Amino acid sequence: MTTHEDILAILSTMSLEEKVAQLCQIDMAGFVAEAAASTGTDTQTRADDRCVGSVISGGGADAEDFARVQRALQGRSPHGIPALFMSDVIHGFRTIFPIPLGLACAFDPQQAEKMGRVSAEEATASGLHVTFAPMADVVRDPRWGRCMESAGESPRLCADMAAATVRGFTGKGLGSDSGMACCVKHFAGYGLAEAGRDYAPVDVSRTELYNTYFPPFRAALDAGCRLLMPAFTPVERLPAVMNPWLLNTVLRKQWGFTGMVISDWDAPGELRAHGLAKDAREAAKLSLMAGNDMDMMSGAYAEALTGLVQDGTVPIARLDEAVLRVLEIKRELGLFDKPCKNDSREKQQAACYAPAHRAAAREAALKSCVLLQNGGALPIRAGRRVALAGDHADTRALLGAWRCSGRMEETPTLREAFVGVPVCAPEDADVIVYAVGEEQDDTGEAASKADPALTKAQMDELRRLHALGKPVVVVLFCGRPLILTEVLPLCDALLVAWFPGSEGAKAIRRLLLGEQSPSGHLSMTFPRSVGQIPIHHDALTVARPDRGAPNNRYVSRYLDEQTAPLFPFGFGLSYTRFLMDDVKVSPVMTQSAPAEVSCTVRNVGERDGETVVQLYAQCVHSGRMHPLRQLVAYQRVRLAVGEEKRLTLRVCRDDLLSWDGEGNAEVFTGQWRVYLGESSDAPDVGSFEYRS
């Protein structure tokens, strides 16, 4: 087994050129004709006969392709150093799970862990070593297409989902056959892109970064994530890839990160477009010296690093540090001993799209769908004639953006999933299911929208269906919250299915027919109108809150819109009802003793079901402004009809940290008010005191 000492020995005999090559990544499309270009502008596909440290793949290559490229690259490296194969395995490799924003609605990190495990089994069997996941950006702006890649607006939920994703991909360890390394992205604050326009600038304070945007990254790293990608966007007018405060001070000095940093696509090269570097030389220097180890696709490192080291502009020590980090990841993945985790197409086929993987994706889809409205049309009772209307009833495009090697042709449509159910025209139906929403590629990267809503044609069709006088059930496919204010009065029921993945249609059928009750809860607030954006449950306190008094002008409100959202964070209905009572709040929390909030949850409806019990906290008096309420604990609970369970949610010191702009954390002593319920609108159930 290759040891750290072996790596140091290799490093000590590597030539300058060989070292620089280790810090360069190029596209698989340069090696394999069928490989899809990954993303981004200006694809640099030249593979020629260069030696590189890593290859990015956008899909299309298989285990044998990777094995061939691995042999070629090792052959070009004087030390036979294996290459790292990376790809965006975001919510599944071949078996596709719901998009991350949907998966987070399960409020069940185990789902993210399963997604990671299944994906890693499939992806490693297909020749990959590293995924560009989890995306740990906290998101509050539905105009931004990349909301779909995130776990939503709550730093807590994002942190839990990110950590679970890392655990899942890692499995039994990076060195195991199906162990895959994660690259958490995009550090940090990318979700704040101005006005929701992708790649637009960001202006955010350090205090806000520490409190809101950093925690999910920290959680991913603490869970064992070994790579990190800086965001395209700036902090304090310096793009993350050349931001020494982010990459050196916070990441390395404060957090002790020892893994490697890889730029986003062409990010070093883009420093020229920002007017920050006049050529590749400056771009490479600024990025490497700020702490960015590997260059994804810009070519700046390949072009300029050798010269920069030769003339002493970049110290060899910094180059060696970056190369060592890259070699260490390769060692941890076991690549020096086994450069291909699998090189056989047969094994790849056996590992992909296995029945157990599809079952896991189905379970995730069942838990991700969120029922927002139900006047009684759902569940659809046996024997009812159902109409399936809307383009999304017949589409296989249910996988969502970043669908990796997912195959649309093997993804059932909603109509196919409804085989066996009497289906007829809307005019003859007892209930109309209107499957509608965004196109899957109208979400994700470079998919910003100024008005995230149904199109005019979709609304016209909804009005026509509504006018038939039958109950209309809207099944909504989307990668972000859409503005549904005009949709609600035109339908009896509304189920948000997100992009539910390979097994999504089957899951939706089960939910609509009542074989299972919906149990997802919103991971992002749904605004009433675009003007309310950004809107989220954990906004800071306002001294003049809107209490709805019509005569009081000088409060924080709109003259032409309500203050409250259409649906709050955490909201989700079920076919049954749950009651929470006998709530007890332990009066004191200390450094070592968590506060406990316990309650009895009872299923008082007529069906079995699951809900998510959510606990929010608010600091009553503190030295720095605090969120009005923030999610601090939650628990998914399954209850049969009439069943009751006693639950205890614990809050410990680390759940209540408040950070200053230097990265010092404290918990304010004194009263903390707590709210318990099934959404962020939960009622006040008491308070506890934190004593340090």
Residues in the site for ligand BGC, rule: CB under 6 A?
Answer: 38-40, 88, 132, 185, 264-265, 445
State the residue for tokens 């918990």: 667
The catalytic position among 88, 264, 343, 681 is 264
Shortest separation between residue 665's beta carbon and ligand BGC, angstroms: 29
- Whole-angstrom CA distances from 7 to 4, 173, 249, 685 are 5, 19, 26, 57
**With the C-alpha atoms ordered 269, 275, 277, 279, is the resulting torsion angle positive or negative?**
positive
Q: Report in angstroms how near the CB of residue 441 gets to ligand BGC at its nearest.
A: 14
d(CA 320, CA 400) in angstroms, rounded, equals: 40
> Which residue lies nearest ligand BGC, judged by its C-beta?
132
Q: Which is nearer to ligand BGC, 192 or 380 (CB)?
A: 192
CB of 67 to ligand BGC, least distance (A): 22
CA–CA separation, 582 vs 598, rounded Å? Answer: 8
User: In this complex, which beta carbon is closest to ligand BGC, that of residue 88 or of residue 503?
Assistant: 88
Compute the distance between CA of residue 449 and CA of residue 197 in angstroms, rounded to an integer: 8
Look up tokens 């007017």; give the residue. 275
Within the chain, what is the greatest distance between any pair of CA atoms? 80
| Pairing between β-strand 227-230 and β-strand 54-57 as defined by DSSP bridges | unpaired
CB of 44 to ligand BGC, least distance (A): 13
Q: In whole angstroms, what is the distance from residue 287 CA to residue 269 CA? A: 10
| Minimum CB–partner distance for residue 10 and ligand BGC (Å) | 28
Residue 468, burial from CB neighbour count under 10 angstroms (0-12, 13-18, 19+) = middle
Q: How far apart are CA 160 and CA 155, in angstroms?
A: 9
Q: Which is nearer to ligand BGC, 40 or 518 (CB)?
A: 40
* 132, 262 Cβ separation under 8 angstroms: no
Instruction: Give the amino acid at 385.
Output: R
Q: How many other CB atoms are found less than 10 A from the CB of residue 321?
A: 14
Return the closest-CA partner of residue 157 out of 570, 508, 438.
570
- Nearest approach in angstroms of CB 307 to ligand BGC is 27
What's the rounded Cα separation, in Å, for the pair 49 and 76? Answer: 8
Asked whether 499 and 399 are in contact (CB, 8 A), the reply is yes
β-pairing, 84-87 vs 54-57, is parallel
Helix 316-332 × helix 4-12 angle, to 10°: 140
Q: Which amino acid is at 79?
A: H
Question: For ligand BGC, which is the closer residue by CB, 293 or 492?
Answer: 293
Nearer to ligand BGC, 145 or 568 (CB): 145
* H or E segment and range at residue 296: strand 295-296
Please, which residue, 38 or 95, has the CB nearer to ligand BGC? Answer: 38
Q: Which is nearer to ligand BGC, 130 or 522 (CB)?
A: 130
Is 566 within 8 Å of 452 (Cβ atoms)?
no
Q: Which helix (H) or strand (E) holds 482?
A: none
Shortest distance (Å) from residue 264 CB to ligand BGC: 5
> For residues 72 and 323, is the Cβ–Cβ distance under 8 A?
no
Give 58 or 452: the residue with its C-beta nearer to ligand BGC: 58
Lookup: tokens for 492: 């009896």
Q: In the complex, what is the shortest distance from the CB of residue 92 to ligand BGC, in angstroms, rounded to a whole number? A: 15
Q: Output the smallest distance, CB 262 to ligand BGC, in A.
A: 9
The residues, ordered by sequence, that sit 6+ positions from 666 with a Cβ below 8 Å of its Cβ are: 657, 658
- Asked if 207 and 665 count as a contact pair (C-beta separation under 8 A), the reply is no
**CA torsion through residues 502, 153, 479, 464, sign:** positive
What's the DSSP call for residue 173? -
Q: In 126-251, which residue ranges form alpha helices assigned H by DSSP?
A: 155-170, 206-208, 215-222, 244
Name the residue nearer to ligand BGC (CB basis): 85 or 265. Answer: 265
Q: Are 320 and 11 in contact (CB under 8 A)?
A: yes
Nearer to ligand BGC, 271 or 585 (CB): 271
Q: Which is nearer to ligand BGC, 39 or 95 (CB)?
A: 39
Distance CA 669, CA 71 (A): 60
Comparing CA positions, the residue from 378, 576, 415, 392 lying closest to residue 506 is 415
Is residue 264 annotated as part of the catalytic site, yes or no?
Answer: yes
CB of 65 to ligand BGC, least distance (A): 18
* Nearer Cβ to ligand BGC (233/658): 233
Q: What Å distances lie between residue 179 and 121, 125, 128, 176, CA to CA? A: 8, 10, 10, 5
Q: For 310, list phi and psi in degrees, rounded to 5.
A: -60, -40
Structure tokens at 447: 């998919």
* Minimum distance from residue 31 beta carbon to ligand BGC (Å): 16
Residues annotated catalytic, as ranges: 264
